[in-house]
Chain A
Amino acid sequence: MKKLWSVFLSTFMLLLMTTPIAFAATEEAPKLDSGDTAWVLVSAALVFIMTPGLGFFYGGMVRSKNVLTTIMHSFFIVGLISVEWIILGYTMAFGDDATGVIPGIIGSLDKIGLAGTAGQIWTGTSIPELAFIIFQCMFAVITPALITGAFAERVKFKAYALFMLLWAIFIYNPMAHMVWGGGKLFELGALDFAGGLVIHILSGVSGLTLCILIGKRRGYGKLPILPHHLPMTVLGAALLWFGWFGFNAGSALGANELAASAFVATQAAAAMATISWVVCEWIQNGKPTILGAASGCIAGLVAITPAAGFVAPMPAVIIGLIAGIVCYFAVAVLKAKLGYDDSLDAFGVHGIGGTWGAIATGLWATTAVNPAGANGLFYGDGNLLTAQIISIIVAYLLGSIGTFILYKIVNAITPFRADEAEEVSGIDIVEHGERAYSQSIMTGESLGIQSDLTKID
Chain B
Amino acid sequence: MSTDTRADEGGSLLARPLDWLETQSEEVYAYVLLAPAFLLLAVVAFYPLIETFRFSLLADAVASADPFGEFVGFDNYVALLTGDTNFTQQFVSISTTDSFPFVGFDAPFLQQALFVTLAFAILSVLFETLIGFGQALVLDQDFYGRRWVRVSIIIPWAIPIVIQGMIFFLLFNPTIGFGTEFMQWLGVFGDNPLSSSTDSFLIVLVADIWKTTAFMALLILAGLQSIDRGLYDVAKVSGASPWQRFRYITLPLVAPALLVAMLFRTMDAMRIYGLIDSTAGCETVPSLTCLVIIALQESRRWATASAVAFLTAVVISAFVLVYLLALRNSDGGVA
Q: Bound pair: A and B?
A: no
Taking Cβ atoms with an 8 Å cutoff, the residues of A that contact B are none
- Interface residues, chain B, with chain A CB atoms under 8 Å away: none
